[in-house]
Amino acid sequence: MEDKVSNLNFKVTIEEGICNFEYFNEITLPDIMASESHAMNIMNEHKVDILPFVIDLSKVEDAGVKIGVGDFGKIISSRTLFDRCSGVCIVGAKGNIKMLATLLNKTFLGGRIQFFDDPEEAKTAAKALTNLKIPLLEQDVD
């Protein structure tokens, strides 16, 4: 299942019970909000309630990071997304984007995001979450 909206900076698909977000070139708040909206549309269209998410940031360099700490509130306030997500696996975060993602994870998400360098490891971790039907923010933190 693929997103029908074409954007040069992101792609959203659902494959094998996993919602995949892939960002290219740069990552901006409007791109994040648009990709979240597209993911919700795809999930609604296919009557999918909750899925793990794999977010591939490996094709975004530091110069392409156009979000800041102040944007976190806008990202987090989109609670609908977190109600439909059983887990988040981030692939390829480096430099500023890794620092920002780590800050978001620790400050707002209680350490629930998993980070990976290898896409296959992220996919394996996400597959382990496909049967979990508890939203990310409702899960107990170990």
pLDDT, one tens digit per residue, over 3-52 is 445 567 999 999 999 999 999 999 999 999 999 999 999 999 989 999 99
Mean pLDDT calculated for residue range 50-61: 95
The full set of domain ranges for the chain reads 10-138
Beta strands in 71-129 (DSSP E): 85-91, 113-116
Residues 94, 53 contacting (CB under 8 angstroms):
no
Amino acid letter, residue 32? I
Task: Quote the pLDDT of residue 3.
Answer: 46
Strands 10-15 and 18-28: antiparallel
Query: Could you tell me the pTM of the whole model?
Result: 0.89
Task: Kindly state which CATH superfamily the domain 10-138 is placed in.
Answer: STAS domain (3.30.750.24)
* Total residue length of the chain: 142
Beta bridge partners, 74, equal none
**pLDDT for 53:** 96
- The secondary element (H helix, E strand) that includes residue 124 is helix 119-127
Tens of pLDDT, residue by residue over 95-138, are 988 998 898 889 888 899 999 999 999 999 999 999 999 998 88
Q: In this predicted structure, what is the pLDDT of residue 142?
A: 67
